[in-house]
Structure 1
Amino acid sequence: MTTIGFIYPDHAAEDDYLLAQQLLGGADSEQGDIRLPVEHIYGTDLHAVPELLDLGSEARLADGAALLAKHEPDAVIWACTSGSFVYGWDGARGQADGLARVAGVPASSTSFAFVHAAQALEVKRVAVAASYPDDVAQLFVEFLAAGGIEVVAMASADITTAAEVGRLAPDAVVRLAVQHDHAEADAVLVPDTAMRTLAEINAIEAALGKPVLTANQVTVWEGLRLTGTTRLVRSMGRLFRVRG
């Protein structure tokens, strides 16, 4: 049994992780060898820099690791893009390293998951379709650049809270990704774990004719990567059809 624990801020789209567990052949399937437990930490759901710095603080993540301990995870992921990239590359590295120390297992975050997933797909140039306000979205662009990924186009939907993002209808999620593609982009990135995307990934990729990387998708993939687990499925986008 492989158990990957996710620390998720507040409530918005955490049911994507239950869906991922089902699609990957999780604990309630015949294979039954993957568990993806989610535990929540609470702060503000504002997409604003001071609030995001507080949300991703060492103390809050330590609380999340303590909640996950009962699941005996093999790896732990901070399932929040903005609450990790807002620290910058070095700060986010320190954040993940600190989480690994308190959890006692390998750890990472959604921001690093995007970089590692892009590397697995050999993606160098991307378009970003962000739900955040522009100033927050720009910090994601800077984080990707530090990871060697060029952003050729960036759109920000200026949605100020995670709760509002979580209420987006499936067709709105598809439109956000498809309408903000760029001809020079190798892939489109949709960076918000508050957005339900897993059920829409294949439709988006079919419309784009290129990979799409979404926050909850890459977060799950990162956990599998950290545990050395490979699971190839057709239902979670091109990322899950390659060996990372």
Structure 2
Amino acid sequence: MFRYDGDGYRARIGLIFMASSVVMESEMWAMAAEGVSVHTARIKLPKVTVEGIEEMMNAPQLEEAARLLGSAPIDVLCFGGTSASFLHGTAYDVALTKKLTGWAAGPKITTASTATLAALAAVEAGPVALATPYVDGVHQRAIRFLEENGHKVVSHRNLGIDKDQALAEVPLEKIYDMVREIDHPDATAVFISCTNFRSVGAIEALETAIGKPVVSAVQASFWHCLKVAGVKGAKPGYGRLFKGLEAVSGEGTDDRR
């Protein structure tokens, strides 16, 4: 008998991610059932500020990453930057999707912000509480993006971090406490933004504690990749969002093994 070697026989997810970031890949692999693989191209983020994000999005590296990643036999390409895709509102995110589609014509396309809105709709969220690690300028744009898409932000908190590597160093326990603190009676769900900010290991515990859906940018991105690929490919234990998309033993078996 051969051992499973990580082959994406259910779905191959392509991810454009920040060069200095580490969280999104590991969290996607943690949530991925056997047969779902993640393949990454990286771009440089100078600083987690409005100016730094704009510099990244205007650099030629973005197109190069999309074209290189699109040359691989992937099923879905996800742009893994939440703030970078909501920076200038919904129209900006839609325009980014169109650019990515032009640069990588083979796979289906999504972004962290597109996935977030789809995930909030899937859990039937209305008003939300918002937790981010961002500086004030980026955090306010997150609020604007959510509210222009029908999700009033009734409670929120941000940590004011402007260095990408520092985002990943926030302990999961602190993020858990942060979400518990911002939960609000009028919030129908909690959204945790930023793809280099740990979250998925605490989602099940948070949903049990507060009794409502918790959606994070990484979780939503992975979920939406599975959704648009049309596969059940999630391990159990990562939130209500994955209802119906958890892998069933025996389904999607790789006949090549």
Q: TM-score normalized by structure 2?
A: 0.85
Q: Does 1:143 align with 2:145?
A: yes
Give the drift of 1:58.
Answer: 6.8
Given residue 3 of structure 1, which amino acid in structure 2 is its aligned partner?
R
Q: 1:24 aligns with which of 29, 32, 39?
A: 32
Give the drift of 1:110.
Answer: 0.6
- Which residue number corresponds to residue 3 of structure 2? none
- Note the aligned Cα RMSD (angstroms): 2.0
Distance in 2 of aligned mates of 1:177 and 1:234: 22
Give the drift of 1:19.
Answer: 4.4
Q: Does 1:238 align with 2:240?
A: yes
Partner SS state of residue 41, structure 2: strand
- Which residue number corresponds to residue 4 of structure 1? 13
Distance in 2 of aligned mates of 1:59 and 1:75: 21
- List gaps (5 residues or longer) in structure 2: 1-8, 246-257
Q: Does 1:199 align with 2:201?
A: yes
Give the drift of 1:114.
Answer: 0.9
Cα shift readout 1:97-144 (whole Å, capped 9, x = no counterpart)? 111111112212111111110001111110001111122111111111
Given residue 16 of structure 2, which amino acid in structure 1 is its aligned partner?
I
Give the drift of 1:12.
Answer: 2.7
Distance in 1 of aligned mates of 2:128 and 2:27: 26
Cα shift readout 1:61-104 (whole Å, capped 9, x = no counterpart)? 21221332353211111101111111211111101111111111
Distance in 1 of aligned mates of 2:70 and 2:29: 19
Distance in 1 of aligned mates of 2:164 and 2:234: 30
Given residue 205 of structure 1, which amino acid in structure 2 is its aligned partner?
E
- Which residue number corresponds to residue 253 of structure 2? none
Within-5 A mapping of 1:96-135: 96-104=97-105, 105-135=107-137
Give the drift of 1:234.
Answer: 2.6
Give the drift of 1:190.
Answer: 0.7
- List gaps (5 residues or longer) in structure 1: 27-31
Give the drift of 1:20.
Answer: 3.0
Distance in 1 of aligned mates of 2:30 and 2:159: 30
Cα shift readout 1:199-220 (whole Å, capped 9, x = no counterpart)? 2211222222211111111111
Contact kept in structure 2, 1:115 and 1:149, CA below 8 Å:
no
- Which residue number corresponds to residue 81 of structure 1? 82
Distance in 2 of aligned mates of 1:185 and 1:230: 29
Contact kept in structure 2, 1:58 and 1:99, CA below 8 Å:
no
Distance in 1 of aligned mates of 2:180 and 2:244: 22
Call closer, same or farther: CA 1:153–1:35 in 2, change over 3 Å: same
Identity fraction in percent: 26
Given residue 54 of structure 1, which amino acid in structure 2 is its aligned partner?
E
- Which residue number corresponds to residue 29 of structure 1? none
Cα shift readout 1:196-241 (whole Å, capped 9, x = no counterpart)? 2222211222222211111111111121122122345432111112
